[in-house]
Structure 1
Amino acid sequence: MAPQRRAGAGAEAELPEYAGHYRLESLLGSGGMGVVHLARSTSGLKLAVKVVHAEFARDREFRGRFRQEVAAARRVSGAFTAPVVDADPEAERPWMATLFIPGPTLAEQVKRNGPMTPAQLRRLMTGLAEALRDIHRVGVVHRDLKPSNVLLAEDGPKVIDFGISRPTDSELRTETGKLIGTPPFMAPEQFRRPREVGPAADIFALGSVVVHAATGRGPFDSDSPYVVAYQVVHDEPDLTGIPEELATLVLRCLAKEPEGRPTPDELMRELRSAAASYDTQAFIPAQRTGAEAASAPPRQPRRPPRERLARSALLAGAALVLVASGAASVQLADSEGDSPAKAPVRTPSATFGGWEAKPVSGNGGVPHCSYGADELLCAQRDVVFALDPDDGGLAWRRTTSDRAVSRPPVVSGGVVPSSMAEDGSVEGLDHASGTPVWRRDVPEGGSVRGAGDMLLLTGADGTVTGVDGSSGATKWNRSLPGHSGTPLVSFAADPLAYATSTSSDGTHTRITAVDPGTGALRWDVRLEGALQPIGVGGGSVFLLSGDPRDGTTTGLLRYSPRSEASLRVPLPVPRHDVRATVRGNVVHLLAQGGALEAVDLKTRKRVWHLETGISHGSAPVSDGRHVYVTAPDGRLLAVDARTGRLLGQTAPRLGAAADRVVASLPEPVVAGGRVYASAPDGTVFAVDGREPAGW
């Protein structure tokens, strides 16, 4: 490929053919400091690569700023930004590669199609508030939020270009006498005291961006940047054309003093309460044409919004939960007592219409559920309950003395063991009635895990006790050499359980396979690297391989005990906070920031990759046809397991505390062609897994 050329006075004669090992395919755009190219990684991943102009590459101060841009972009890389894939600030021509996100900028969208509708404005404002919340959480202030730095992607707005952003702990400061930013979107303090700019400046910019999206102009408008600067500091904003329901909130964002502006969390709460028909579905730019439309991934038709009857019923204080046509209606008792509730009569239907239920009132967190003994068994806060999988009817509910739980109940020997209590004991409940069957002590500092019909109690000293799930009786007791207190893990349809211990320097991991029924050791191996088991298949164990220095997952490993052979497959891009599952030879991974991908260890290649926009999702679950993931806002997503295409998603179920981060998000449960999931508002719901497009 010949180097790309650019015409025009003062332009560089030739643009580079490569940035690092990324081949630059075409020009996406050019700015004052650099040029952005479309490129591809070795595996074919589309990237946007920013290459600094040669004249600035020779400037020490600019190189320092570019290093800061890369550092800031890495810190905020997630669901609401373009994740950083690679960078080299020390190259002859410094460059940074991020994921390519198809879609126009907000500036292009407004210029092409005019002002946004009120519904689009609300989604834009909410998406930007979420983005700023994540950016500020990691200690970064953007300082240049403007329409050209907002990409309108399929799943919502993305904030890009951290060229003048600053980490709050950075020692690099704005040079005296220089104003850095874009005047129509700068806060008053950026003109008055630029060294003291904080997160509130980004909120001011958000207000200005919303005004531009609603009107095509800014709240302070003039051809002269000096006049604009005066207006920003001294004049009231012009909010003509702003929808009435948003005007007050936008005005608060544009307060002259930083302390008068709302935080991102306050913005999201205000936006939820501003309209009962608040819609969190992804923003989809209208009237995209030409190359943009051709390059965009295929869109799925969206169903009309669900009836708002459930919201009205809850606001009226009724206990009846209503869902979409064809679903069951579930009557729940107002009391939080332990008496069983009679299951309702299921509504006849040619197909499974789904259901939803909320067995624990109030803000009790996310229910964690498992499937067993023909029941859906859930734990939420200090309550354990069983639901009929056909219609969501409450079979029984028991309030325990246990601490708040973050794991689903274990179905073991016909009994549902609840979580460990404050006194260090574990209680076994009858799965049919919820009544206690047995109770026994757990070693101090120990853990409880289920494996088939057995419970495995691991003490802090590494001693493991095998307990019969139906009676609570001890079947065996032994220590595991090389392991000290690590909970054993097991997987469905696997007769073994596994203890893993990684060396302090992360150079190797010891893995011991145990028979849960007898305590016999089946095999023991020491493998290179920091490893974590994620599943089994074809007589092999699949593991994540990571870098202990930064906690990233860098690859996958398949170990076959019979042949003692290991196969390692590196990931194209290292991932943070990975949750994974195994189906056959394919591993599905969901990483922090929403990257969902499938890697086939038989072909040693990545099959597909999808940016879901989920900041911290559940572990993915696959039934062979689809891959299911739960999002922090309560949505259940379904992706084609063969192509990685998004097929459908449910409505969000945020609840009253939507500004809180869910510590542990349970994975969906797949059984009998249905998918069962739970949400932060305390809802447990079921959908037909065969028809995700109809959710």
Structure 2
Amino acid sequence: MAPQGNTGTGAEAELPEYAGHYRLESCLGSGGMGVVHVARSTSGMKLAVKVVHTEFAKDPEFRGRFRQEVAAARKVSGAFTASVVDADPDAERPWMATLFIPGPTLSDEVKRNGPMAPDQLRRLMAGLAEALRDIHRVGVVHRDLKPSNVLLAEDGPKVIDFGISRPKDSELRTETGKLIGTPPFMAPEQFRRPREVGPAADIFALGSVMVHAATGRGPFDSDSPYVVAYQVVHDEPDLTGVPTNLAPLIVRCLAKEPEDRPTPDELMRELRSVAASYDTQTFIPAQRTRDVPGAEPKEQLSRSGRRPSRRTVFVAVAVVLTLAGVLASVQWLGGGEDATAKSGDKPTAATGFAGWTANPVPKAEGPAQCSYGAGRLICAQSGTVFALDPADGALMWRHSVAESRLSKPPAVEGGLVQPMVEEGRRLEGLDPASGKARWQRALPRHHGMQITGGILLLTLLDGTVTGVDASTGDTKWHLRIPGQPTPAFVSFDGDPLAYTTNLSLDGLSTRVTAVDPTTGAVRWDARLSGNLVLVGTHGGSVFFLSTNNLYGDTEAVVRYTPVTESSRRVKLPVARADVQATARGNTVYLLASTGSLDAVDTVSGKRLWNLETSVSRGSVPVADDRHVYFTTTDGRLFAVDADKGRLVGQTPARLGSNSGTVTGALPSPTVADGRIYATAPDGTVFAVTSREPSGW
């Protein structure tokens, strides 16, 4: 094959025939940073390969930024992006190969066919919201979401081009000469304080992208990038031509202040449609849906007489099975919502605990996130932290955190309740008896927060970590963790250490660092083979899921013992998609998005059992000595026999009146003192006994 021609001159006039082992076949497009080619692997797999322009290949700082792009793209699930197959940031001409995704960019689609129809817009917004949730939850901020970086694939939109601004796309630069984005799709804070840009900037960009998709122009339009910048910071957006049912949500996305914008989870809930990866889009027959004022009519299955597509049939069957499962569970338990145990019901003879259902925040959107501590059930929901009496669900106190977004259930550490703030202006420790603040301190912009051993671990935007005493709010230490550029800590009950991981640039190994939270000192550090995700610890060993770099499916469970530096890999018979997992003792329980639940013994190296639950999506499971528990998108709580892998109980569905609402986050149930506490999309918190799940 002859070298590909290019519109450039000099060194760029002829492009390379190969990038690594990948043969370049044709040019997909050329941008300010490089050229993207259609390529083939040795086995014939079709790929898209980005090859950097020669002028930037000579810049060491740019190479560093390109490495950052590769690392960011690898961290994000391939469900919403073009999965990275291979890369070489150190090549003479740095390159990155991703799976080829057939389909136009949003920019090309609107240019060729004009603005999108309302139903297409709603599906696009739901898909992008879910993509951003997937991107943000691994600590990545895209910073340059725009129509040309959205691919319209058959199974939903894909977000591409991570972390690299295009020098020739705009004249706007920071004072060091580096671009900070593409002006029509940048958030106000990207102009005002570019070093403090967080996930909310991507939400602003999503709003601008949606206006473009709906009208063919942006919410702020001018031939001058400087005028656009002024409009973004000071003017109200022009939403002329945007469908009325989407306009209020897009207005919220385009709020000037980051804290006023919705999260991806909130967007998905309010859109009342399910993103493509959940396989329950809007193919629900109209007679099974409820009319919602101001909402679009529900889509119906094809009546055209044409054979429906395989995807349509699959989605329709998935919905019918989900509905059938809900009806079956209600019938099995002897009724619908009325069958739920209420506070005051007669206790069962076997347990002496009647169970209860509470609705502590009546107008709450989505499920509460709860944990158990100080003899109370401590929850966060809709801008409120509250405590419930675990015996009967009575409300003990409420505390407003309306100006903050909480990413995890509150924790009780250092004798105080600690709200886990994802975005907000202050940290505080609350008295578990009254809910009153015992200390408060300003909260800097941060990437993540975790708490263990009485210490709050804050990872700041520059990658440094601050240890905050949970009992006083005082700073105990502030430092960088060697080998971990932006640590995202996890911790596990009964383990005094905090852990963070970092995937290598080639995706073939993972660096694991264990940190003492009281001092920030590294207790041990190891580089292990594979793309690994921490899921638990026990007896001095650490457990991981090993994922496939190409598709992100879980292929194995890995047990690593740092004292002996030994590891054991337990391969699964079949790779599992979108796995949520937990460890109890030496056993790891894995729940896939398809409903497949596996139990793996990390000592014997065997899979103990498998159960097909028919659940389309579940929470991270939890376990005690007898059962494994998890919740589902319709509010059911499941119990599975931990020894035999049999379903032994489930509660009725708790969707409430808004049965079409998407539940973006699925909080795990809480196990304490022989009871299970769980939350549901209808806003309720409920408790059942763990001893007799068959009687739920």
Distance 1:546 1:660, change over 3 A: same
Out of 295, 310, 332, the position equivalent to 1:302 is 332
Letter in 2 for 1:666: P
Alpha carbons 1:401, 1:422 under 8 Å: kept: no
8 Å contact kept, 1:476–1:518: yes
After superposition, give the CA deviation of every residue in 1:577-608 in whole Å (9 maximum; x if it has no partner): 11111111110000111111101111211111
Distance 1:477 1:251, change over 3 A: closer
Contact 1:443–1:458 at 8 Å: present in 2 too? no
Partner AA of 1:542 in structure 2: F
Contact 2:407 2:421 in 1 (8 A): no
**Residues in 2 aligned to 1:412 and 1:168: alpha-carbon distance in whole angstroms:** 43
Matched, 1:325 2:370: no
2: CA distance, partners of 1:663 / 1:362: 17
How big is the shift at 1:425? 2.6
C-alpha distance 603-309 of structure 1, shift in aligned 2 (>3 A): closer
SS in 1 for 2:411: coil
Which residue in the other structure is 2:641 paired with? 640
1:527 alignment partner AA = L
For 1:18-417, what aligned pairs fall within 5 Å after superposition? 281-283=326-328, 302-305=332-335, 308=338, 322=342, 325-326=345-346, 351-417=352-418
Deviation of 1:548 (Å): 2.1
Distance 1:443 1:322 in 2: 43
1:380–1:404 Cα contact (<8 Å) kept = no
Instruction: Give the whole-Å Cα distance in 2 for the aligned partners of 1:533 and 1:682.
Output: 30
The within-5 A match list for 1:602-621 is: 602-621=603-622
Aligned partner of 2:565 in structure 1 is: 564
Cα RMSD between the aligned structures?
4.0
Q: Say whether the 8 Å CA contact 1:207–1:254 is kept in structure 2.
A: no
Indicate the residue corresponding to 1:650 in structure 2: 651
Q: Is the 8 A contact 2:367 2:381 kept in 1?
A: yes
Equivalent pairs counted in the alignment come to 410
Q: Deviations over 1:226-247 (max 9, x none)?
A: xxxxxxxxxxxxxxxxxxxxxx
Tell me how far apart the structure 2 counterparts of residues 349 and 481 of structure 1 sit (CA, whole Å).
54
Q: How does 1:4-23 map to 2 (within 5 A)?
A: none
Deviations 1:159-218 (A, max 9, x none): xxxxxxx9689xxxxxxxxxxxxxxxxxxxxxxxxxxxxx9xx979x799x9xxxxxxxx
Q: Which ranges in structure 1 are unaligned for 5 or more consecutive residues? A: 1-77, 79-132, 139-165, 170-198, 211-248, 272-277, 285-299, 311-320, 328-346
Separation in 2, partners of 1:369, 1:203? 33
Check the 8 A contact 1:381/1:403 in 2, yes or no.
no
- The alpha-carbon distance between structure 1 residues 472 and 565, as it changes in their structure 2 partners (threshold 3 A), is same
Give the SS at the match of 1:490: coil
Q: Return the letter of the residue paired with 2:430.
A: L
1:619 is displaced (CA, Å) by 0.7
Q: Distance in 2 between matches of 1:619 and 1:361?
A: 26
Report the CA distance between 1:307 and its aligned residue. Answer: 7.3
Paired residue type of 2:652: A
1:397–1:564 CA distance, 2 compared to 1 (3 A): same
Matched residue SS, 1:281: helix
Deviation at 1:253, TM superposition (A): 6.7
Q: Is the 8 A contact 1:429 1:437 kept in 2?
A: yes
Distance in 1, Cα, partners of 2:616 & 2:155 = 22
d(CA) in 1 for partners of 2:155, 2:584: 44
- Using CA pairs under 8 Å that are at least 6 residues apart, name the structure with larger relative contact order, 1 or 2: 2
Q: Is residue 2:690 matched to residue 1:689?
A: yes
Say which one has the larger Rg: 1
* Inter-CA distance 374–348: structure 2 relative to 1 (3 Å threshold): farther
1:449 — aligned with what?
Answer: 450
Whether the 8 Å CA contact 2:419–2:428 is kept in 1: the answer is yes
Q: Confirm or deny that 1:662 pairs with 2:692.
A: no
Aligned-pair distance for 1:517? 1.5
Percent identity reads 47
Superposition deviation, residue 541 in structure 1? 0.5
Paired with 1:483 and 1:518, the residues of 2 have a C-alpha distance of: 17
Please name the residue that 1:436 is paired with.
437
CA distance in 2, matches of 1:498, 1:168: 35
Structure 1 SS opposite 2:526: strand
Q: Report the counterpart of residue 38 of structure 1 in structure 2.
A: none
Check 1:422–1:445 CA distance in 2 against 1; reply closer, same or farther (3 A cut).
closer
Q: Distance in 2 between matches of 1:307 and 1:432?
A: 32
Give 2:591's aligned residue: 590
Q: Distance in 2 between matches of 1:253 and 1:459?
A: 48
Contact kept, 8 Å, 2:490 with 2:500, in 1: the verdict is yes
For 2:561, the aligned partner's letter is S
TM-score, length-scaled by structure 2: 0.54
Please tell me the residue identity of whatever aligns with 2:608.
V
Report what 1:501 is aligned to.
Answer: 502
Aligned to 1:474: 475
More divergent stretch after superposition (434-443 vs 599-608):
434-443
Q: Residues 349, 553 of structure 1: CA spacing in aligned structure 2 closer, same or farther, 3 A cutoff?
A: closer
1:425–1:522 CA distance, 2 compared to 1 (3 A): same
Q: Which residue of 1 aligns with 2:463?
A: 462
CA drift of 1:256 comes to 6.5
Contact map agreement 1:593 1:616 (CA 8 A) in 2: yes
Aligned pair in 2 of structure 1 residues 648, 476: CA closer, same or farther (>3 Å)? same
Task: Give me the TM-score of the superposition, normalised by structure 1.
Answer: 0.54
Answer whether contact 1:357 1:683 (CA < 8 A) is retained.
Answer: yes
Q: Could you tell me how far apart the structure 2 residues matched to 1:349 and 1:610 are?
A: 27
Confirm or deny: 8 A CA contact 1:673 1:690 kept in the other structure: yes
- Flag structure 2 segments of 5+ consecutive residues without an equivalent: 1-78, 80-121, 128-152, 157-278, 289-296, 307-311
TM-superposed deviation, 1:653: 0.3
| SS of equivalent to 2:403 | coil
